[in-house]
Amino acid sequence: MAILVQAAPDTSQTKISWGREIAEWGIDAGVAAFTKFYLSNTPVWTSRPLLQTKTQGPYKSETVNDLWLYPLGAAMVGGMAFMPNSDTGFISKEYYCHAKGFIEAAFVVLPLIDEIVKHSVGKKRPNYDAGMKLYAQGQNIDTNDLRESFYSTHAAICYGMATYLSLYLFRNVSGIDESGLAWKIPVAACAAGIATYVSYTRVADNLHEPIDVVAGGVCGAIVSAGMYFVSDARVGKHKIGLEFSPRRVSVDVTY
């Protein structure tokens, strides 16, 4: 006799618990504030860098600073609101869950992981020597930031946002025919292009080396993909079944 164990039951008709949502948003805000205003301002945890290459590059101003990431993320998550979902039309529970997942991935989880890695590795930026010289001359230079090269927060967040948006486009938005792909592919390519440009500026501005932005981009893509599937499970449309019988074991995945 076969036994079916449903790991993620179909709960697409259940309502959102707003009390739980308010609590989760509060936790998200607390973690984001802790990362931004405390952890990022504390000294790195190692006196000797675990990874190091060049530090003799000139000190330049940022082409794309942190503040630009917020309107970029708002534009992407706002654009998702006006894309028709596969089964439920425009703005819906499906969109809400993924908008929340997008924001959590880009502005809560990834910055926290990034700061933990940066504080653990303590890698000096390519402009470290020039920055320390300016600091010695009395200029307002954040010497702690000069040791936060690995990996790139900008690359992680931008590639993370591009990954989440692309998954949402191709898996949740109506239109898998030629007409749908005709606009989905350029949108996904544009998001990836923006991430690539931002990553390029981080290297050109002597704030990171290529390995820093590559590692950041890979981490951003992996974390955001994971957050996407967690959010998709919360929508309740998809389920995974595991079936046991005396002679066989089978897995049934319904999407």
- Average pLDDT in the 145-153 region? 94
Residue 2 inside a domain? The answer is no
User: In the chain, how many domains are there?
Assistant: 1
Is the pLDDT at 183 greater than 90? The verdict is no
Residue 8 inside a domain? The answer is no
Cα gap 137→143, rounded to integer Å: 13
Residue 121 inside a domain? The answer is yes
Residue 13 inside a domain? The answer is no
Determine the pLDDT at residue 246: 55
Determine the pLDDT at residue 180: 75
Is the pLDDT at 43 greater than 70? The verdict is yes
Is the pLDDT at 244 greater than 60? The verdict is no
Is the pLDDT at 8 greater than 60? The verdict is no
Residue 9 inside a domain? The answer is no
Chain centroid to CA 187: 18
Is the pLDDT at 253 greater than 80? The verdict is no
Q: At 5, is the pLDDT very low, low, confident or very high (cuts 50, 70, 90)?
A: very low
Q: Using DSSP, state whether 14 is helix, strand or coil.
A: coil
Residue 171 inside a domain? The answer is yes
Question: Could you tell me the residue range of the domain that residue 210 belongs to?
Answer: 21-254
Q: Name the residue with tokens 């945890």.
A: 45
Determine the pLDDT at residue 248: 58
Residue 155 inside a domain? The answer is yes
Average pLDDT score over the chain: 86
Helix (H) or strand (E) holding 192: helix 178-204
Q: At 114, is the pLDDT very low, low, confident or very high (cuts 50, 70, 90)?
A: very high
Residue 4 inside a domain? The answer is no
**Cα separation values, 178 from 142, 168, 185, Å:** 51, 18, 10
- Average pLDDT in the 142-149 region? 93
Contact 132, 187 (CB under 8 A): no
Determine the pLDDT at residue 83: 82
**Other CB atoms within 10 A of residue 53 CB:** 13
Q: At 16, is the pLDDT very low, low, confident or very high (cuts 50, 70, 90)?
A: confident
